[in-house]
Copies of this chain bind each other. A is one copy, B any other.
Amino acid sequence: MELLKQRILKDGTEIGTEVVKVDSFLNHQLDIGLFMALGKEIHRRFGHLGINKILTIEASGIGIAAITAIYFDLVPVVFAKKAQPNTMTEEFYGAPVKSFTKGTVSIARVSKNYLNANDKVLIIDDFLAHGEAAAGLANLVEQAGGTVCGIAAIIEKEFQGGSKKLRDAGYLVDSLAVITKVEDGKIYFKD
Contact = CB atoms under 8 A, between A and B. Distances in A.
A130 B75 CA distance: 33
Contact of A32 (B29, B30, B70, B79): B70
B76 A32 contact: yes
Interface of A, secondary structure class, is mixed
Q: Which one of A33, A66, A70 has the greatest number of beta carbons of chain B within 10 Å? A: A66
A17 interface: no
Interface in A30-45: 30-33, 35-36
A34 to B, nearest CB: 9
A81 B29 CA distance: 11
Interface of A: 23-24, 28-33, 35-36, 58-59, 62-63, 65-67, 69-70, 74-79, 81, 110-111, 113-114
Contacts of A77: 29-30, 32, 63
Given A33-B74, A58-B58, A74-B33, A114 B63 contact: no
